[in-house]
Amino acid sequence: MMAGTEYCISSRLIDSVPSVIGDFEVSVGISFQVDSAKLTLFVGLMTMRNINFAKKTTAMTTVPNQYGFGALFDLDGVIIDSETLYTGFWNDIEAEFPTGIPDYAIAIKGRTLESIMEEYPTEEIRREITRRLMEFQASMRFTPLPGAVEMLEALAAAGIPSALVTSSDAVKMQRLFDMMPRLRGLFVTVIDGSMVTHSKPHPEGYCRAAREIGMEPERCVVFEDSLQGLAAGRASGATVVGLATTYPVSRVEPLSDVVISSWQELPLERLVELMS
């Protein structure tokens, strides 16, 4: 077992995770066994090596956090309306380079590119898919989901620190912030896919983000839309708000404390009440 920084993990056992795909295991005391019907979480003593934290920025407000909680956001399907575009891209990839995974474009949502590439047998195929993805993302226009930026601004005005936890890479994130420059200032820190060792449903990204905004995961709320991401939020010990923007409510609900279909359904007052 590696010595190092103590790592957070929830003691919650998740008994039902519909249609999460793959087997996931870490040798330092936590194991996710995932199939089409069930994800079981075994918790032991867990440590991980020290890692260089992402650069923090000054959020748009220095108002004291009088509410005592933090907010951790996924990106695609939570802040920006991009999941339909990605579904089309990955459906085309699956047609040309079949993996045999049912509903492949949906099943991989929330995973890092490195994790997704493990599904392909040769380096040549992995390079070609990566090249196409980079070209696809370079032409994307990022559109925020209605109410998402307003929620971030309301949190900042109330002194509640926010972090972005995404499986996207640094190149995409730089392009996003170039296109939407005010968005970067709304986050204390950004954790992208290159900054974590383990992809969602592992809670590493959310645990790290909680530390960087100075909060315990149990005093954070996670906003997620994918099954992989919802499972990561649950495993971190955070309160989970599921957005039914990618999956129907019936798929999101088992992994969420609260489910919303749009940001208009969750005004700041309701969120504060949820976290009280």
Give the single-character DSSP code of 29: T
Domain regions of the chain by residue span: 53-80+144-274, 83-138
Quote the pLDDT of residue 22.
36
- 3-class DSSP state for residue 4? coil
Specify the fold of 53-80+144-274: Rossmann fold (3.40.50)
pLDDT tens digits along 1-32: 344 444 465 544 333 333 333 333 333 333 33
Residue 52's alpha-carbon distances to 169, 171, 274, in angstroms, are 16, 19, 33
How open is the CA angle 89-199-248, to the nearest 5 degrees?
Answer: 55
pLDDT tens digits along 141-165: 899 999 999 999 999 999 999 999 9
pTM strictly above 0.75: no
Element (H, E) at 115: helix 113-117
Measured between alpha carbons, how far is 216 from 224 in angstroms, rounded to an integer? Answer: 18
Quote the pLDDT of residue 112.
87
Quote the pLDDT of residue 54.
41
For 161, other C-beta atoms within 10 Å of its C-beta total 24
Would residue 45 be called left, alpha or beta, if left means φ above 0 and alpha means ψ between -120 and 50 degrees? beta
- pLDDT tens per residue, the chain (276 residues)? 344 444 465 544 333 333 333 333 333 333 333 333 333 333 332 323 233 334 444 444 467 898 999 999 999 999 998 878 888 999 999 999 999 999 999 889 888 899 999 999 999 999 999 999 999 988 888 999 999 999 999 999 999 999 999 999 998 999 999 999 999 999 999 999 999 999 999 999 999 999 999 999 999 999 999 999 999 999 999 999 999 998 999 999 999 999 999 999 999 999 999 999
